Copies of this chain bind each other. A is one copy, B any other.
Amino acid sequence: MMRRDIFQAIADPTRRAIITLIALQAMTPNAIAENFNTTRQSVSKHLRILTECDLLKQEQQGREIYYSLQLEKMKEIDIWLQQFRKLWETRFHQLENVLATIKKQKK
Q: Which A residues lie at the B interface, using CB under 8 A?
A: 5, 7-8, 10-11, 13, 16, 20, 23-24, 69, 71-72, 74-75, 77-78, 80-81, 83-85, 87-88, 91
- Interface SS majority for chain A: helix
Q: Write out the residue numbers on chain B whose beta carbons fall within 8 Å of the beta carbon of A23.
A: 83-84, 87
Q: Write out the residue numbers on chain B whose beta carbons fall within 8 Å of the beta carbon of A84.
A: 23, 69, 71, 74
- How many angstroms between the C-alpha atoms of A20 and B24 in the bound complex? 32
- How many angstroms between the C-alpha atoms of A80 and B13 in the bound complex? 12
The answer on a CB contact under 8 Å between A81 and B88 is no
Other-chain contact of A85, B24, B69, B78, B88 (Cβ < 8 Å): B78
